[in-house]
Structure 1
Amino acid sequence: MKTILFKSKLIRLFIAFLIFASCSKDDESSTVDIPTVNYTATNFDATFFQTGNSTAPTIDWNGDQGTFSLSAPLAGLNIDSINGILSWDKTLPIGIHNLQVIITNSAGQTVKNITLSNPLQGVFTGFIINGNSEHLEMEFFSDGTIIVKLEDSGSPPTAYGTWTKNNTTIIANLTNPENGVQASFSGTLTIDTTAKYTGNLYSNPNLTDPLGVFEVVLH
């Protein structure tokens, strides 16, 4: 009788051990950690007034799928909450944008720093009113240089210079290499259904003595 009771107790202990071991394995398998995420690059270049997107990152949710988000919103920019792909539209502001991508699950979050560059570039055409209305062409380059052509009495003089961004204002300082005449354009770049640059023409980089007004649109 004692032998039977002993064997019964032994069996119960063995079953309890199996249940404990099984629970321990379940606890280990249900362990959740913060996500592990890597983008193939952390610097992305946009083309002005064109849509685009980043590459998809590699993701290990480490036990619990979460979401992607941006620490701060930026006009024209979105992030897919599931796959982490950044996408932008034509209204993305010009300049260098330092972004923080937040990847969150129930265990916590991971932060990835991304830089998105969108330099002003392209050919703008329109007119300048300086006594008479004349055809004006401006070509902006991403390195900060600019070429301006003005239709003047059938001969289009060309000026070369540089452009800078000061808050919401774009300023271009130019020189005509043939006669040394200087001029400056100062105006606002508006980006919606079109990209439009409007403002005043000045005779010097001090932005005094306005000579006329201009309006050009991305060609």
Structure 2
Amino acid sequence: MKTIKYIGALWVCIIIQACNSDDDTNGLRIVYEENYIETLFLEAGETIPPVVNWSGETGTFSATTLPSTAPDDLFRRNLSIDEETGVLSWDRSIPLGEIEIIITASSSSETASTTITIKNTFVGGLFYGGFNSDISDNPDISMIDSSNSINFTKEGIVGLLGTSGEDIISMSGTWTIDESFITVSFDTNNRVMIGDMNARNGSPAATFIGQWGEGLGQNNTIENLMGAFIFEND
């Protein structure tokens, strides 16, 4: 029995040594506190510095986005990484949806990468704007006034309040979002709005821009197109 125990202990030692050897061969590693980060629309943020086993030689960090989730120029507009600390930062204009970011640590002899996913979610807000009757492919929205307000709630309810001549417009309905693409369905006259929600660093802070009409067809298309709209959040 003692012989069997000794053999078993020897195998454990061999396995541990092999695992340690594998860790050594893996070399450089980057560990962030979170690799999946959830943030809210119009909120800036940053990670804490990652833990990196530089093996005695400090290197630098770089980053890029996966083309399938965002263009690389996000690092010229919305994202940045500190080359010395590895802190990843984003401003309030980061696009809605999920963005996958590849972060690379490099020394003179080793390179390692890890992926961080940022999920930016729109939960609601109050916007001011209006509508026109331009149904062209490139509608002119420059003359739209801000006599209407639209309020999105986190429960998925939407309310529209405005004027049309001497009449007061008041409608309620529901909204859904897919990435930055928002569909509004009102309870009145089968009215719908479909558009993109985009954040900005300046003023206004965000714009909801698209087309409106009656009836929602297949593939989220408007059956009876009646014009364009733009709403802004200050």
Q: Take 2:172 and 2:184, find their aligned partners in 1: how far apart are those partners?
A: 13
User: 1:212 maps to what in 2?
Assistant: 227
Q: Take 1:51 and 1:175, find their aligned partners in 2: how far apart are those partners?
A: 32
Q: Cα offset for 1:89?
A: 0.8
Q: How does 1:138-157 map to 2 (within 5 A)?
A: 138-139=151-152, 141=154, 145-151=156-162, 153-154=167-168, 156-157=170-171
Q: Cα offset for 1:76?
A: 0.2
2:89 to 87, 90, 99: 87
Q: How does 1:56-135 map to 2 (within 5 A)?
A: 56-72=49-65, 73=72, 74=74, 75-129=77-131, 134-135=147-148
Q: How many residues align?
A: 181
Structure 2 residue identity aligned to 1:164:
D
**Where does structure 1 lack aligned partners over 5 or more consecutive residues?**
1-32
Q: TM-score, normalised by structure 2?
A: 0.66
Query: What's the secondary structure of 2:131's corresponding residue?
Result: strand
User: 1:186 maps to what in 2?
Assistant: 194
Structure 2 residue identity aligned to 1:55:
I
User: 1:136 maps to what in 2?
Assistant: 149
1:198 to 199, 209, 222: 209
User: 1:160 maps to what in 2?
Assistant: 174
**Where does structure 2 lack aligned partners over 5 or more consecutive residues?**
1-25, 66-71, 134-143
- Is the contact between residue 29 and residue 113 of structure 2 (CA under 8 Å) also seen in structure 1? no
Q: TM-score, normalised by structure 1?
A: 0.70
Structure 1 residue identity aligned to 2:91:
D
Distance 1:203 1:112, change over 3 A: same
Higher RCO structure, 1 or 2 (CA under 8 Å, sep 6+): 2
* Structure ID, larger Rg: 1
Structure 2 residue identity aligned to 1:120:
F
- Is the contact between residue 129 and residue 232 of structure 2 (CA under 8 Å) also seen in structure 1? no
Q: Take 1:190 and 1:163, find their aligned partners in 2: how far apart are those partners?
A: 12
Q: Cα offset for 1:39?
A: 1.0
Q: Take 1:102 and 1:83, find their aligned partners in 2: how far apart are those partners?
A: 12
| Percent sequence identity over aligned pairs | 20
